[in-house]
Structure 1
Amino acid sequence: MIPSPMRAPARRAGSAGFTLIEVMVVLVIMGVMATSLSIGLDSLRGRDADQALKRLRLVLEATADRAVVRGRPIALELLSDGYRFSALDPDDNWRPLNDPPVFTEKALPAGLAWGGLRLGGSSETGATRLQFGVETPEYELRVTTPGGEARLTGKATGEVQLQMPGRTAS
């Protein structure tokens, strides 16, 4: 039998390929997922900053307590991208204090930066060292965050109050 020229080629069952609508649906789903992932990462960054500030508040309180209990000064040194601790040894030399998990050098999360440290009743905010001893100093440590400026206020009792933009926590 001679094939007719008018006959269309037979389509194989299960041939590979996608329709235009299937491709568009997949692209829309990928776009929605990418958007939700981006929004989720932004909220995690904000949560990281909040957690870092709360941790810093607790670390400052622990530093004041430790200095009083040990009877030896401990200093918090503000670095450009984080902070570290030093302790005064028996020979009156400042030595790095590395006592995990609290007294280790820490980096500030992205979006946080030091806004200034004011000691006692001073109006100057350029100090880079906060020294704790038998008596706990009064101070105000400002930290710039993506949402505004946070303040950590240290009292003579060793308590530290954290004021974050738009809310207050102790």
Structure 2
Amino acid sequence: MSLDDITKTPTSRAQRRRVGRGIGSGLGKTCGRGQKGEGTRTGGKNRGPLFEGGQFPFWMRLPKRGFTNFAHRETYLPLDLEAAMHLVSGDELSLAKLVAAKAVRPGVQVKLVNGGAVKLKRKLTVTMPVTGSVRKVVEAAGGTVQWVKPISKSARKPETKTD
């Protein structure tokens, strides 16, 4: 067998559909799209998975329930207590010190978590969000947690002017 003997398999590649080339081609005039309607238009037939043919959709028939605070939720980046201890020296652990050590970017909300059985050998003063287990570990070693959750902008009361 040589390269001259190799022939193209008839089913190896489908021919391109040439539309609008006369009645005899079978795809002339309307080009296989039918007469009228959304499917004949440019960009038609792309109605999405929830489209039910014009029938009132199921998801709109269901009652509205519940509440979500998705737009206003606060998300924290978890940081292990042991890793934070290696990043910051001294007896104070704060978000400003982590930013100065380039452990986190400014503006990122970080929360200290206890990944394992960490036992502190020094007193720590923590001024950032912590989990309950981290609070217990720090206070068991004689340290303190001095973080108060700031009031969010939406929860603040508007200041009233007094004349």
**TM-score under structure 1 normalisation?**
0.28
Give the strand-richer structure, 1 or 2: 1
Structure 1 or 2: more helix by fraction: 1
Return the structure number with greater relative CO, CA threshold 8 A, min gap 6. 1
Structure with higher Rg: it is 2
- TM-score with structure 2 length normalisation? 0.29
